[in-house]
Amino acid sequence: MNESTRLLIHGASGRMGQALMRLAGERDDLRVVAAAARRAPGDLPAGAQSITAASLDAAPDFDVAIDFSLPEAFDPVLDLCVRRGVPLVSGTTGLSDAQRAALDAAAKTIAVVWAANFSLGVAVLGDLVERAARALAHWDCDIVESHHVHKKDAPSGTALALGARAEAGGATPRYASLRAGDIVGEHTVQFATAGERVELIHRATNRDIFARGALHVARRLHARAPGAYRVADLLD
C-alpha cells in the first residue's frame, strides 16, 4: 500500500497517546489526522485536529483508530469505528466482559486488534509460560506484576493474558500486583515446588515499545477485511 494511513489517536493526552503521536511523526507511512481525549489535547502533530470525547463524531475521515484510553472511554470509539466502517487497534486494559463481547461483535463488520501488550518480548514470554506450565505440572504458579502508581486496573491486562497461557498449559495461576513509582511494566511468572523455583521475567523500561507495536499493527490493519486479528497475525 502506497498512500499513508490516516490515524485517529484516542487517549491522545495520555502517556501512551503522547508516545504514539511522537513515534507516528517519525514514519512516512502514517499520518495523525485526529487526536481525541477527555479534554481537547494540545501540542498536536501538524495537520491533526483536536477533538474531545464529547465531540468524537466531529472527527475527520481516518483509516484506522488507535485507542489507549480507559474502559469508560472505550464504547464511544468502538461505536465510531463501526459506524464509519474503519479498523480499531486498542490497547486499553481493564475492559469488562460486555466490552470484550462488543469488540467480538464489531469484528464481524470491521477489522479489530485488542492486545494487553504490544511488545514482542511479552509475546515470546507467553509461549515460554505455556511451555513451562505444561512441563511443571502441579507446581505452584504465581504471576507478580509491577506498574507505576497511576495504573488503575489490577491485575494488569498482561498478567491476565499470561495467566491464560499458564492455564492453557495446565497451571492454576495466582496474581499479585504492586503499584510503585514510575515502573513502566514488569511481569514475573514463577513456578515453585519443594526445593526449587523457576522465574520467567519481562521488564519494559520504555513505553515506546508498546507504541511502536501498535503503530506497526495499525499500518497492517489499513483496509483489512473484517475480523479479530492477533498481533502475531500482523508481524510481517
Q: Which residues are catalytic?
A: 147, 151
Place of cell 494487553: 116
- Give the nearest distance from C-beta 64 to ligand NAD in angstroms: 16
Interface of this chain with ligand NAD, residues 60 to 79, rule: CB under 6 A: 68-70, 72-73
Q: Is the dihedral of CA 227, 234, 56, 63 positive or negative?
A: negative
Does position 118 interact with ligand NAD (CB under 6 A)? The reply is: yes
User: b/e string for 37-75 if b means 16 or more Cβ within 10 A?
Assistant: bbebbeebbeebbbbebeebeebeebbbbbbbbbeebbe
5, 8, 14, 62: residue in contact with ligand NAD (rule CB under 6 A): 14
17, 87, 155, 163: residue in contact with ligand NAD (rule CB under 6 A): 17
- Give the nearest distance from C-beta 152 to ligand NAD in angstroms: 7
Over the window 23 to 52, marking each residue x when it contacts ligand NAD by CB under 6 A and - when it does not, the resulting string is --------------xx--------------
Does position 176 interact with ligand NAD (CB under 6 A)? The reply is: no
- If the CB atoms of residues 37 and 136 are measured against ligand NAD, the closer one turns out to be 37
* H helices present in the chain, as ranges: 15-24, 71-84, 97-106, 120-135, 157-168, 208-221
